[in-house]
A and B are shown apart, each in its own frame.
Chain A
């Protein structure tokens, strides 16, 4: 089982994400943004948090046009798995792999704290190992986490059961308290909270390990 973690100038959650993949049983390769190809045999691509390209223009906008993201798009098109966390979620939205946009938090401020999330669907290779409707606690650390989408997109996400995580209470103004969403084929997850920062007892939170273990179980069965 192999995971690739993309690294952009300004990524700062890349090594934490790599550790979470490793602890779940993945062999991990770090891939620089200028590379145009992913390593052979990659099951899942992780797009990490941070401030890629200094958040210039829009969060995630420049990273979404980098060479390695072309390879990520091809990987997803072939049915490969991908997870984008925080800035990685912003990148996935900028590519159009996931619908909607992340805007400045409703309260303007950067928010950095652990929050309770509702696991809104267990029908995905990321969330299969959570009990339906259960609560997971992950840290958040973002200023542009206010998820917005048109009525049509919101209706589709809801009717297709593609909302993966919801904030238990309104944190940043996101519509329908959306914290994370799935692609149409359910193999791409984007979320603002950081499961990789909640994936080791040393960190005081372990709910995130469930997600990475579910990913490795899916890769093992593939």
Chain B
């Protein structure tokens, strides 16, 4: 089963990379962008076929390694 962990900076945490992306888009003529937040997607191909178990497992992975919960939030997306 393919599961995705979507990791973003928490709301309120300053995102200098997002700000640089917003600025670069502005120079390309994309106006009206009020805010850009960037993050990462980690795709995991699991042997587990039970979606509840897979979700719980990936949540544990996020807590243990994939996200730094001091500054990042995560969401687990099932297929």
Contacts and interface: CB of A to CB of B under 8 A. Distances in A.
A148 B13 CA distance: 9
A33 interface: no
Contact of B68 (A61, A104, A146): A61
A47 to B, nearest CB: 17
A25 interface: no
B14 A106 contact: yes
Interface in B54-79: 64-66, 68, 70-71
Contacts of A108: 16-17, 20
Q: Helix, strand, loop or mixed for chain B's interface? A: helix
Nearest to B23: A108
A101 B65 CA distance: 14
The contact size tier of chain B is 10 to 19
Nearest to B19: A108
A93 B69 CA distance: 12
Interface of B: 13-14, 16-17, 20, 64-66, 68, 70-71
14 contacts: A58-B68, A65-B65, A93-B70, A99-B70, A101-B70, A103-B14, A103-B16, A103-B71, A106-B14, A108-B16, A108-B17, A108-B20, A146-B16, A148-B14
A101 B68 contact: yes
A103 B66 contact: no
B16 A106 contact: yes
A104 B64 CA distance: 21
Of the listed residues A58, A93, A94, A148, the one surrounded by the most CB atoms of chain B closer than 10 A to its CB is A58
B68 A94 contact: yes
